[in-house]
Structure 1
Amino acid sequence: MAPAGLDAQSSDGSRRRWSIRAARSRWSVRLSTVVLGTGGLIVLIVLWWIGTELLSPKGSFVRHFAPGTAFASLLKLLTQSDLSIHLLVSLRRVLVGLGLALLIGVPIGLAVGRSQRLDAATSPAFQFLRMISPLSWMPIAIMVFGIGDRPIYFLLAFAAVWPILLNTAEGVRRLEPSWLRLASSLSATRWETLRHVIIPGVLGHILAGLRLAIGVVWIVLVPCEMLGVSAGVGYFILDTRDRLAYSELMAMVLMIGLLGFLLDAAARALIRLAAPGRMRVLA
């Protein structure tokens, strides 16, 4: 019969080997994901190049949209132009729009999720409003708020509020009833229940709604910046068109896609940090 010390050492060694294998497996999955994703991007660029080479005659302006020309123009814009100013202006508008949507959507979502009557009273109106394209409000927003940033903030907040509101309400509905009963049995006040039970319980849903809102806002932003403003990525695209700088126009399309990808990656990282359980749903 083996001594107890040897059994303990054997058990510790098995646990270490298992943890090493698990870590290697995780890194293998991550590496394969990166390789496959990179391969997909390469295929997309090759198809893009084939399209511009085969579907346009020599001397055609379509050649300005080719990958090589677009990437060269993008590098030039990043190093020799005021592109950074336009990017910062657009990012500021996105942050303000998302901030307004959070300030409006989270409290209303919490209230709707807690009250079945309020949910029944507001659900038809919310479903009706969220089906209206935010861009259809553009003429009205300009007439009401004037030209400048204020109509853009309104349109972005209107676009972003629905995924945040509805995800927050759904998170409240899915809270474990036992958590609320426990808080009540401990004589917790409404504020204490909200702070220590409800908000932590729905945080993952709020962040999931925020991630969806980022995607919607980024799509709505560009056309919003094509009317009545003098800075932003949407304005810059119109400027390149007016200057017939087609390669720069294509470079801006690439930049918009890249920034949208980075914003989504930042949202995923925030969810992974604050509510890792939600990543199984969002992956």
Structure 2
Amino acid sequence: MRQTASDAGPATGAVRALAARSWLGLAGLAVLLALWWAATGAGQAQGLAARFAPAATLASAAELLRQPDFAQHVLVSLRRVLLGLAMALAAGVPLGLLVGAARRVDAALSPAFQFLRMISPLSWMPVVVMVLGVGDRPVLFLLAFAGVWPILLNTAAGVRQLDPRWVMLARSLAATRWELLTRVVLPGVVGNVLTGLRLSIGIVWIVLVPAEMLGVNAGLGYFILDTRDRLAYSELLATVLVIGLLGFLLDSGARWLQRWWAPA
């Protein structure tokens, strides 16, 4: 079937809008690279400043990405992030459903949750190490603690925003509590859960690097300490760039998931 002009118009407009956003994004990155280049002496720096220059850093990044050992550090960090997010989801979604559905529970627990939420996850580091020791367990606890609050609060908000007519209709059809939960409540709050998950990814990814300085022997945080001890400054900054790139990709994946679930 031949595509009409009216059908092609919206598609063409969407492609042009995407291309415009892409060019603007590349322009912003180019400006950032130019500022970095100027800050390190415009290619004329000597000594330590030269090691932080774009050319040396990007060359180190390319070399790191070819090393199997560095890939192992990346995989270890990604595994910890995914486990921490899974733990945050496992705790945040049920608690959010409970807080959002029951006013008395909300009144009883919200002050405590707000108090705990305002404590920096990193401030728990000494306590967690004393209680859980070193290794993966304290890192996972810190990541889950950092990521649970956006999921919990957004889930609770989603429950409160549900159309009460949906609940009334389900009850009029003699739906059980399980059917009400799985066929009305959960589908209605998935968008809010995904919003909370995206916020959690950003927080967890920021907490990851300092958390991986708790006596572990692998991960991007550990690798940054290792580069500092070896005085490999270009590798250190290259690792920082890789962390930024991976975080950008994780956030892009979360945004795609949101658009897939609730397209504009």
Q: TM-score interval w.r.t. the shorter chain?
A: over 0.9
Aligned match of 2:51:
64
The farther-off stretch of 124-133 and 268-277 is 268-277
User: Which of 106, 110, 126 is matched with 1:119 structurally?
Assistant: 106
User: Which of 160, 167, 177 is matched with 2:154 structurally?
Assistant: 167
Identity in percent: 60
Q: Does 1:51 align with 2:32?
A: no
- Determine if contact 2:212/2:219 at 8 Å carries over to the other structure: yes
CA–CA distance in structure 2, aligned partners of residues 122 and 207 of structure 1: 23
Structure 1 position 81, deviation (Å): 4.8
Please state whether the residue corresponding to 1:244 is helix, strand or coil. Answer: coil
Q: Which whole-Å deviations, capped at 9, do the CAs of 1:133-187 have from their partners, x for residues lacking one? A: 0000000000110110000010000000000000000000000111111101111
The farther-off stretch of 62-71 and 98-107 is 62-71
Q: Which whole-Å deviations, capped at 9, do the CAs of 1:4-38 have from their partners, x for residues lacking one? A: xxxxxxxx99x932121111111111110001001
Q: Which runs of 5+ in 2 are unaligned?
A: none
Q: Does 1:212 align with 2:199?
A: yes
Quick one: structure 1 residues 57 and 49, their matched pair in 2 at CA, closer, same or farther if it must change by over 3 Å?
closer
Supply the AA of the counterpart residue of 1:124: P
* Off by >4 Å, runs of 4+ in structure 1: none
Structure 1 position 276, deviation (Å): 2.6
CA–CA distance in structure 1, aligned partners of residues 47 and 7 of structure 2: 59
Structure 1 position 60, deviation (Å): 2.4
Structure 1 position 117, deviation (Å): 1.2
Supply the AA of the counterpart residue of 2:8: I
Please state whether the residue corresponding to 1:19 is helix, strand or coil. Answer: helix
Q: How does 1:159-198 map to 2 (within 5 A)?
A: 159-198=146-185
Aligned match of 1:84:
71
Aligned match of 1:18:
6
RMSD over aligned CA atoms reads: 1.6
Q: Which whole-Å deviations, capped at 9, do the CAs of 1:69-110 have from their partners, x for residues lacking one? A: 111000011113510000000001001100000000000000
Q: Which runs of 5+ in 1 are unaligned?
A: 1-11, 278-283
Supply the AA of the counterpart residue of 1:34: S
- TM-score, length of structure 2 as denominator length: 0.97
Max Rg structure: 1
Q: How many aligned residue pairs are there? A: 264
Q: Does 1:97 align with 2:84?
A: yes
CA–CA distance in structure 1, aligned partners of residues 109 and 39 of structure 2: 49
Aligned match of 1:41:
29
Supply the AA of the counterpart residue of 1:226: M
